[in-house]
Amino acid sequence: MVREGLFERFPCEAVFAVHNWPDLPLGVAATRPGPIMAAADRFDIVVRGRGGHAAQPHHTPDVVLAASTLVAQLHTIVSRRVAPTENAVLSVTRISGGQSHNVLPAAVELTGTVRSFNGAVQDMIEQALRDMAAGVARASGTTVDVEYTRYYPATINSPAHARLALEAARRAGLEAQTAGAPAFTSEDFAFMLQQRPGAYLWLGQGAGTSPAPLHHPSYDFNDDVLAFGVRWFVTVAHLALLDTSFPSQK
C-alpha cells in the first residue's frame, strides 16, 4: 500500500493502529513511546556436501555435523555479540536433511528468525550469522549458502502520539497503561510508521474467553472488545483534530 502511493493518494498527518491483546485484561489498553513491536528477519541456510555412506564418513563432508555445529554457534550471537543493554532474539526453527539411517545426506537446510529493535543490532546479527556460516563451511569442507530476508521493520511509536493514544484510551473508558517493554512479535503497520508518525496500541481482551495465545489453533476472539476499540479510534480522532495542545505534524 505504501509503495503504491497510499499517503500520496490519501494524505494524512498521523497514523494509529490497535491490536487485541489476550495478555491484558478486558478494559485495559497499553502502549509505549519508541519500540512497541520487533523487526522480523528470516534466514534460510543450506549446507551442502557430496553425500555418501554413513559407514565411510571420511569420503564426504558431513553436512549434518556441519549444520549442527552452525546451529550451536548461531545461538551464541545474541548472548555473546549483542550488548546486554539491547534486546534481540535468534531462533533456529527448522532443520531438515537426509532420508535414511545409513546415508550421509548431500544437503541440510536450516530456517529461523531474528527479532530486534535497533537497526545497528540488526546489521550486526546478520553479519555475524554470515560470518559463522562461512567459518563452518571452511572448517567442515562444505559449502554454506545463506539467504537473509528483512521482511518487517521494527514498529516504532512517536512519543507524542503514544501519549495521545493513552489519553484517548483513558477518555474512552479504558484503563491506560504504559507498557513496560516491547513485544518480540512483529507488525506490518511498522511500514506506515516509517512514513508517518503515529502509535500502535494493545487492547486487552482478557484471558477468560480464550486462554490460548494469539495465532494458536484454539484462540477465540472476545467480541466484547469491539466497542472499546471503536470508542478508542473515535477518541483518537477527536483528540488529534480538536485538541490544540496536540503538536501539528504539518
Could you read off the pLDDT of 31-43 as tens digits, one per residue? 999 999 999 999 9
The answer as to whether 247 is a domain residue is no
What CATH code is carried by the domain that includes residue 92? Answer: 3.30.70.360
Grid coordinates given for 173: 473508558
Domain that holds residue 85: 39-152
- Give mean pLDDT, residues 20-26: 92
pLDDT, residue 86, reads 95
The answer as to whether 222 is a domain residue is yes
Tell me: pLDDT of 249 over 50. no
Are both 124 and 61 inside the same structural domain?
Answer: yes
pLDDT classification of 211: cutoffs 50, 70, 90: low
The answer as to whether 192 is a domain residue is yes
pLDDT, residue 113, reads 97
Q: What is the pLDDT of residues 98-126, one digit of tens each?
A: 999 999 999 999 999 999 999 999 999 99
- Cα–Cα distance, 242 to 137 (Å, whole number): 61
Are both 77 and 136 inside the same structural domain?
Answer: yes
* Runs of H (alpha helix) within 46-157: 63-74, 77-81, 119-140
Residue 16 DSSP class: E
Split into its structural domains, the chain has a count of 2
Are both 169 and 198 inside the same structural domain?
Answer: yes
pLDDT, residue 207, reads 59
Supply the pTM of this predicted model. 0.85
Q: Which of 127, 152, 177 is the last residue of a domain?
A: 152
Helices 63-74, 119-140: axis angle to 10 degrees equals 150
Are both 99 and 58 inside the same structural domain?
Answer: yes
Q: ∠ CA 170-17-8 to the nearest 5 degrees?
A: 130
Are both 138 and 182 inside the same structural domain?
Answer: no
Run of H or E including 227: helix 225-242
Are both 139 and 49 inside the same structural domain?
Answer: yes
Q: What is the pLDDT of residues 216-245, one digit of tens each?
A: 888 888 899 999 999 999 999 999 988 655
pLDDT, residue 250, reads 37
The answer as to whether 18 is a domain residue is yes
Q: What is the pLDDT of residues 156-197, one digit of tens each?
A: 999 999 999 999 999 999 999 999 999 999 999 999 999 999
Are both 54 and 44 inside the same structural domain?
Answer: yes
The answer as to whether 248 is a domain residue is no
